[in-house]
Structure 1
């Protein structure tokens, strides 16, 4: 017994003590983000990643310019395969309308959000969103998208990977179209290892007309895709310009336009106007004042002066030359 106790004590003293951090959310730099906003969109402030047994989740914090409580963000969850040693599992379920209403009610407190019923689709497939405007004029949008191919299939040929995406965006200098452009322009950087976890499905085939005889392809007059500008700078410029104009005060009134002068003679005093005729007063022509009459006139030299001597009497006095003509 004593020998066993002594061996245990020696074993404990010989073991190196290590400190292991608990598995939990991890703060990453912006270049480690698995999802990025479009160019010109809100800037990335930070990335928080949570590693689960079957998923990798990230919350990408975005720049926020709004009085609505909360932070703008892009959330993404790559579900499928073995991702980490954490015992927690990410739920593998499809989009639920009731759960989504609770999500955007909590994400955008105090703003009445209305779900859009229009079918929309970006480069990754269909998506949906809800939008609203606060009493202070802040525009808010909460968008969601589930990327999953052949969800109704089964067996070995089924793609098991899935990507869940969420966007919360509020801004007091943007409209709904500008906020919606983030749903069209964001980019997924993360990928799955293994073909069976592919959430995007098989790549689409090319144009069937390519290489075929009798199938001419002409250049398109205009691109078919519409672009929604999303830029804080444009709204800032508009606001600063408006403020500058307000501080400077109203601009000087423009000169009154000169009305055309009637060329017809005025009716005699004895003639009475017809009942169905509309008499429009015509302002009298502007009189030439003494100041206007005394203004210097521009003298244009005669072609005869080109070859004449500088002190020639024909060219020395333009007034006499004009009188002579």
Structure 2
């Protein structure tokens, strides 16, 4: 009887424990989701291209974001800027981890051809470097004249910095950009101007390595520092010291010169008009000719004093002939 009671108690306890283990919460598996542009972990340079949308995928050892960029091209496909943060496992539980592998030249060349279909992409062999370190890119031109580039960069500290359990993080950036009006240099400016806004928590996952110290030439004897990049020969100042000429106030000098000039009073020239008609002599003046004098005309000899006034057409009596009848008759003769 006691054995049966013990078996019953064990059975009830097993049922109760089974009910407790099966009453779990509902969980949605991690999947790519759209986030706001303000939460982008990398940003294009000022002036574009603009961000259309941001798709984020959480990994077990980091986060990956793909920014769809504005596209003005006839080449099939969407322009994008992709960033991937790789750090410690367990960053996002219950999600698969991304492979912690380096970017290889062969793999990136195949990826460039796949991202820009129909365009013959050529790998650039020039060593280039932006603010985050070295990067590479491939470029090509479509049949329609559109220019395309595919750039990639891996930001990771050097092996020498992998000491004392630090600087193990890594950031990978990829850019696909096609444009119908821009040149290769203009598209390449995006690789130089983009900004990473996200980071990995913890000093152990710092992808940038140790902070670079100051220039060792600072404060060292025999290492002059000039304000210009060209050195002393490129500076505009002459050899030796020569005082600058005193400043001249051109406004004051001009006012002085104007004031020193003597004031000139304009002289009014009065031009006398030529007399019109015969001249009438004064009572005590000798009889003269009644010719009209024209300015600039050649001078004519004056008529003799005994010439009768009748020749001019006007008879002017002499003062002696006025008042006396006998003298008046004599003058008429």
Q: Is the TM-score greater than 0.5?
A: yes
1:42 paired residue number:
49
User: How far 1:45 sits from its partner (Å)?
Assistant: 1.2
Question: Are 2:202 and 1:194 equivalent residues in the alignment?
Answer: yes
Equivalent in the alignment of 1:140? 148
Matches of 1:312 and 1:186, distance apart in 2: 88
The alpha-carbon deviation at position 114 of structure 1 amounts to 0.2
CA contact (8 A) 1:150 1:158 kept: no
Contact 1:55 1:79 in 2 (8 A): yes
Who is 2:135 aligned against? Answer: 127
Where structure 1 has 5 or more consecutive residues not aligned to the other structure, the ranges are 223-303, 314-325
Tell me what 2:184 maps to. 176
Q: Tell me the distance in 2 between the aligned counterparts of 1:155 and 1:62.
A: 39
For 1:149 and 1:9, how far apart are their aligned partners in 2?
A: 51
Larger Rg: 2
Cα offset, 1:119, TM superposition: 0.5
The residue number in structure 2 matching 1:115 is: 123
In the alignment, structure 1 residue 149 sits paired with structure 2 residue 154: no
Deviation at 1:3?
A: 6.7
101-110 vs 134-143, greater mean Cα deviation: 101-110
- Give the superposition deviation at 1:106: 1.3
* C-alpha RMSD over aligned residues: 3.3
CA contact (8 A) 1:111 1:132 kept: yes
For residue 28 of structure 2, what is the aligned residue in structure 1? 21
Alpha-carbon separation, structure 1, partners of 2:20 and 2:171: 48
Kept in 2: contact 1:122–1:184 (CA 8 A): yes
Query: Is the alpha carbon distance of 1:305 and 1:146 closer, same or farther for their aligned partners in structure 2, counting shifts above 3 Å?
Result: same
SS at match of 2:94: coil
Asked if structure 2 preserves the Cα contact closer than 8 Å seen for 1:151 and 1:159, the reply is no
| Residues in 1 aligned to 2:271 and 2:216: alpha-carbon distance in whole angstroms | 85
State the 1:194 CA deviation.
1.3
State whether structure 2 residue 74 is matched by structure 1 residue 61.
no
Q: Deviations over 1:161-192 (max 9, x none)?
A: 11111000000010000000111111111111
- What's the TM-score, normalizing by structure 1? 0.63
C-alpha offsets along residues 268-306 of structure 1, whole Å, 9 cap, x if unaligned?
Answer: xxxxxxxxxxxxxxxxxxxxxxxxxxxxxxxxxxxx996
SS across alignment from 1:59: strand
Distance 1:172 1:159 in 2: 41
Q: 2:214 aligns with which of 175, 185, 206?
A: 206
Q: Helix, strand or coil for the counterpart of 1:91?
A: coil
The aligned counterpart of 1:166 is 174
Q: How far apart, in 1, do the equivalents of 2:268 and 2:200 lie?
A: 92
Cα separation, 2, equivalents of 1:11 and 1:199: 45
Shift of 1:61: 1.1
Deviation (angstroms), 1:21: 2.8
Determine whether 1:52 maps to 2:45: no
The CA distance in 1 between the partners of 2:164 and 2:229, in whole Å, is 45
Gaps of 5+ in 2: 1-7, 231-263, 273-333
